[in-house]
Structure 1
């Protein structure tokens, strides 16, 4: 088995970034919401945004769910690596404590 190293800080930051992205997706609605024909200049443009908004709502929900799932995976991975690292360090310290002390000669 090859050498493996986990950058726990980077995995944690990835989890936080995925959560921020997920939260942003969850908050965003139709980009033209609140605007009228006078603001956008045309009923066609307003209708296009309404159609986009309806489709976006469906896709946004799917993307939000996937981002939430990925956030959970990366957060869980970071926690697992951290726990494993801590347990391994404790086991090694325990083994070191049981080793006889040498006189240094």
Structure 2
């Protein structure tokens, strides 16, 4: 999950300045202005969402490490219990 979220963040990072590349294609200034408003709002929302996705990715990676550590400890405990004479 952590790796998947990191890929989502990377995809959002790749959208930087996307709106600027289309601004000249509209011709109509009102439409161009509306598109600029949209891209400005999208940039703010994307930055916030990217930060949240990055934070979730870090939490997921730390959780995976903790689960792996617990799993390893449990496996060692089981192996140790199996080795003890009855």
Give the structure-1-normalised TM-score.
0.71
CA RMSD of aligned residues (A): 1.7
Match of 1:77 in 2: 63
1:98 aligns with 2:76: no
Taking CA–CA contacts closer than 8 Å with sequence separation of 6 or more, which of the two structures ends up with the larger relative contact order?
Answer: 2
Distance 1:58 1:33, change over 3 A: same
Structure 1 stretches of 4+ with a deviation exceeding 3 A read none
Q: Who wins on radius of gyration, i.e. which is larger?
A: 1
Q: Gapped runs of 5+ residues in structure 2? A: none
1:34 aligns with 2:24: no
Question: How many angstroms apart in 1 are the aligned matches of 2:45 and 2:68?
Answer: 34
Question: How many angstroms apart in 1 are the aligned matches of 2:76 and 2:56?
Answer: 30
Q: Gapped runs of 5+ residues in structure 1? A: 1-13, 101-105
Q: CA deviation at 1:81?
A: 0.7
Q: Which residues of 2 match residues 8-27 of structure 1 at below 5 A?
A: 14-27=1-14
Question: How many angstroms apart in 1 are the aligned matches of 2:75 and 2:23?
Answer: 63
Give the structure-2-normalised TM-score.
0.83
